[in-house]
Structure 1
């Protein structure tokens, strides 16, 4: 039976087993995402849901973002262990349901359930690293954690592509289940059971206000541009209701002793600047990670397995960037100059992505992904360590969770915006490049979208319908495929243009990031102000 402690700090031999548990958790959680990302084009083609493409990401990120601060706050009081266990179980159940869905709507709901579990799996590992190592040591180990993330991200696309082609995309959701079981065993054996040192009131009212306020805003961003116009009364009402409730949440949090999100955190310049940089970073890279598989498979023409191999080049460079940045921060205790260099690499890669066109080959995409991976790999652990170093150990879970929460909001907001831009860019260019004769012939087929390129089954189905249109059908079909490639390229080009704006803002923001020398073991004295 695990001893009851009054602190989350892990010492002795147990810390290495706890570290291994964190590594396993991060491995399967990140692998799950990369497997899904590679298979998404096939899923979209199979379930006929291109217009709901962004929802697969949004549903997951919405529930993740909402639960992260709650997990973080409670874990500071009751320990990481119970929330690891809860998150792992919910994530596993959600994975099973995802593998059994038959419609896009069912998949979206199941992904939302997965996200509730993922909220714990995202917030707990970083806090657990802080339970084991001081900020100065943490640079090296955060780099190793980044390497594990990178390795899983390399394995994910390859495994996901192979499973999708060999069996069915339904099976990609089951691959995480053995890792869930291993992680559960590690958590139960090696993480301490924490006894609160004082009676703490859980801020359930604040939690409820946060959820009630966020849901309409996130739903508004998700539905705008696809189901409703951005200026429609429904979308405006969603935003207004959400803002009003969040204002009540902020007012309430300022007047209680133990809030779910501590307002005083935002007065710290390192914290507030890192939050802004995290949002800009997630929005800058979102288009690359989310939509590049669509370009690689839909325009270049690679299958899911080869697409995964191309995407893995970013993860290899991510590993290199994480390890290098971790070593530099551990040896120097500094991070500001490194933030400038990392952000500059992200700006460069995003600029290069903008130059891609219908003739771009996969070797070019790989080169651009390597540069992006180096920049992101250096930047992400840097922001985490800078924030952890700025606050006392006793509130580390809250600090980590709040940072992750705000960063997740960036991805949630970016998903529907990028999805709307892709749809608009695709539709606009398609109507322009197709000949009038072809437009008339395809008018009776149905609304066309890039899913006509994503699977052999979809292409065969539309080809058969063109043949029925007469002798010119085959020529028209070839013209259509070329037009769809051109239009998809145009839509994705717009995404990278927007991504470049966020990348440049992120680079500028690094010059406002205060630097504070990373602490050693004195960090655990809790004397930091």
Structure 2
């Protein structure tokens, strides 16, 4: 997926309170926080609709009919979001992100309303695609706007909030879907978006003020259309083959041939495109190619299972929609725990190959365990099986994005990230379709066998029972167990057939070469690993996020201890901060700093005394100014910080390093002395360990 324009944020990090890069007014910190809250609401809408529908699906297909179309309710959303993601990013650069974000909310809300009033499955599927188109815009633009609002050093903290939204919706989505379905109606799964979206729309209109950037792009509309068309053809073959049409039918063969022709056309277009949607040069990198294959398979297994497990729980186990969401929690928790742990371990140790190998092996084991499920399986056994499956997925998901980032040059950092997540998205769409085809084929055959020659109520037959699980209750009591068994084995057989596919990923993982991890490559956020649609960020944005995470992990005091030692001085960390602050401002008043920074007055007083005693600063009234010696020390401290940042970047910081990367390092370096002090004073306890 091609990256959108890279560059520094619209609000300069070094600007003082109340001024923008051109000296004009910018939002206060409170207003910025309100705007970010509205962005989080937008992200919440898109993230929630990836998971909230799963526990409502059995009820939806029962009411609207068409169990064979169940997979398309999920697939339509994912395909539309995947196809639209790169376009939203570039159009936002070109025409202004605020307007585009508002447009995405409107499209998403229209899609939600239409989904809520849908009267049949074809309508619902079409409206889900519209909803997914808006959802893709909400995802990519909300994170991009954060870069316009906050400086690089704080970007990781706020983007971490967006990652937390994904984690929360992974847990809450199935529960809320079950609650709405059971106590209101499945239609409220979609209607609930309306009030939340309206609030986000109004707040964004009122408080979000960001400069319109007019970065021009040569948007690859043809490439985007072609790759989306190829994906649709593949999913149609997978979902309709053997069900609606025979595998050898003219329709299925025609779709397969059309997909192949479109793929060849896509490759030809991408070779000539100025800004290709998926740069083919990435596939010359062996590690990226292997990551793409594994990502595809992980998406295949993850979303395929998450779509059909609620059907097993509600139809076979007879649990309520709400309780099916509760039963799904062990899988989600296993995924969150191991994805977070693996990402952190890799970031700190630099060793990563063990995780994709172990993760794919455990995922395959989890699928085999899910195959053992039956109508009589106990809660503890099911929870254990779900947890194992989720833990296996979590071990590999975070690491794949990290490995893709580590394998490319800085120029390709953004497209490598979006490329890895793109293949997971396509795998998810394909997996849901394949799971649905296998399930439908098995179910029809088993129901025919179970009900053959039996006396059935009028209007009830194998086709009716397959389309609407509620008809099982109308069958004679002696026929219900074999019908439930048909449903059970039809779903669990899907997991058995998926296990060999995941084992392919296990084999592929052994061929990954464990290159040394760059210092600037850190664990991606949950939005890059749990989302069903690809991440679209520039190389600049990805690097800023990573360095921001590293800076946050170091802590302010450690940063100043590190640069002081690197520069070769024996100074208090606060003294180094004070020197850099004076260098930046020209003169500072220590007592005033205590009011506008989180640094305690006692710490500032000790620092002031030290720099004066050593002849690094002199007093003029209440202010401190640098001496010639102090200016020399401040220059060395600033240079030491720049060196420490450049060391994290490794070979990205080469002789031909791009100007936006140089700009990023300069901004982060300036923020060491500026950002913390620019925060408006807010009453409350001050911490001595700030610096």
Q: Which 10-residue stretch deviates more, 293-302 or 116-125?
A: 116-125
Which 10-residue stretch deviates more, 269-278 or 80-89? 80-89
SS in structure 2 of the partner of residue 155 of structure 1: helix
- Per-residue Cα deviation, 1:54-93 (whole angstroms, up to 9, x for no partner): 2212222232232234345556777765554443332222
User: What is residue 213 of structure 2 aligned with on the other side?
Assistant: 195
The answer to whether the 8 Å contact 2:300/2:424 transfers is no
Task: Report the CA distance between 1:417 and its aligned residue.
Answer: 1.9
Q: Return closer, same or farther for 1:367/1:187 CA change in 2, 3 Å cut-off.
A: farther
Q: Indicate the structure whose relative CO is greater, using CA pairs within 8 Å and at least 6 residues apart.
A: 1
| Cα drift, residue 266 of structure 1 | 2.0
The aligned counterpart of 2:44 is: 27
* 1:262–1:71 Cα change, 3 Å: farther
Q: In the alignment, is residue 239 of structure 1 matched against residue 256 of structure 2?
A: yes
Distance 1:124 1:42, change over 3 A: same
SS at match of 1:349: helix
- The corresponding residue for 1:527 is 657
The yes-or-no answer on 1:324 pairing with 2:341 is yes
SS state of the match for residue 352, structure 1? helix
The residue aligned with 2:688 is none
Q: Partner residue of 1:518?
A: 518
Partner-residue secondary structure (3-state), 2:119: coil
Cα distance in structure 1, aligned partners of 2:350 and 2:145: 21
Instruction: Name the residue aligned to 1:310.
Output: 327
Helix, strand or coil at the partner of 1:254: helix
TM-score scaled by length of structure 2 = 0.65
Distance verdict in 2 for CA 1:452–1:247, change over 3 Å: closer
What CA distance in whole angstroms lies between the structure 1 residues aligned with 2:402 and 2:351? 10
- 1:299 has 2:316 as partner: yes
3-state secondary structure, aligned to 1:347:
helix
Cα distance 1:344–1:215, how it changes in 2: closer, same or farther (>3 A)? closer
Secondary structure of the corresponding residue to residue 344 of structure 2 = helix
Query: CA 1:287/1:361 → structure 2, altered by over 3 Å: closer, same or farther?
Result: farther
Question: In the superposition, relative to structure 1, how do residues 59 and 285 fare at CA in structure 2: closer, same or farther (>3 Å)?
Answer: same
Is 1:40 aligned to residue 39 of structure 2? no
Q: Does 1:339 align with 2:356?
A: yes
- Matches of 2:77 and 2:111, distance apart in 1: 10
Tell me the residue number matched to 1:472.
none
Distance in 2 of aligned mates of 1:214 and 1:489: 30
Deviation at 1:313, TM superposition (A): 2.2
* Distance in 1 (alpha carbons) for counterparts of 2:60 and 2:381: 26
Please give the secondary structure, in 2, of the residue aligned with 1:291: helix
- Largest Rg, 1 or 2: 2
Q: Structure 1 residues 5 and 143 mapped into 2: Cα distance closer, same or farther (>3 Å)?
A: closer
- C-alpha distance in 1 between matches for 2:405 and 2:96: 17
Q: 2:400 aligns with which of 365, 369, 383?
A: 383
C-alpha distance in structure 2 between counterparts of 1:182 and 1:77, whole Å: 26
Give the alignment of 1:257-268 within 5 angstroms.
257-268=274-285
Partner of 1:56: 73
CA distance in 2, matches of 1:380, 1:83: 30
**Relative to 1, partners in 2 of residues 1:249 and 1:32: Cα closer, same or farther, differing over 3 Å?**
closer
Residues 210 and 33 of structure 1: CA distance in aligned 2, closer, same or farther (over 3 Å):
closer
In 2, Cα distance between the equivalents of 1:33 and 1:55?
13
Among candidates 176, 180, 192, match of residue 197 of structure 2: 180
Cα distance change, pair 217–357 in 1 and its aligned pair in 2 (3 A): closer
Does the CA contact (< 8 Å) of 2:447 and 2:462 recur in 1?
A: no
Distance 1:386 1:133 in 2: 26
- What's 1:508 paired with? 507
The match for 2:390 is 373
For 1:133 and 1:382, the matched residues in 2 are separated by: 27
Task: Check 1:314–1:459 CA distance in 2 against 1; reply closer, same or farther (3 A cut).
Answer: same
Deviations 1:471-515 (A, max 9, x none): xxxxxx112221111101111122001221122122222222333
After superposition, the CA RMSD in angstroms is 3.6
Structure-1 residue corresponding to 2:494 = 495
Name structure 2 gaps, 5 residues minimum.
Answer: 14-28, 521-546, 548-645, 662-691
Is contact 2:9-2:151 (8 Å) kept? Answer: no
Residues of 1 paired with 2:482 and 2:362: CA distance?
A: 33
- Structure with a larger share of its residues in helix: 1
Q: 1:66·1:405 contact (CA, 8 Å) conserved in 2? A: no
Q: How far did 1:262 drift?
A: 1.6
**C-alpha distance in structure 2 between counterparts of 1:227 and 1:373, whole Å:** 32
* Deviation, structure 1 residue 356: 1.5
Other structure's SS at 2:53 match: helix
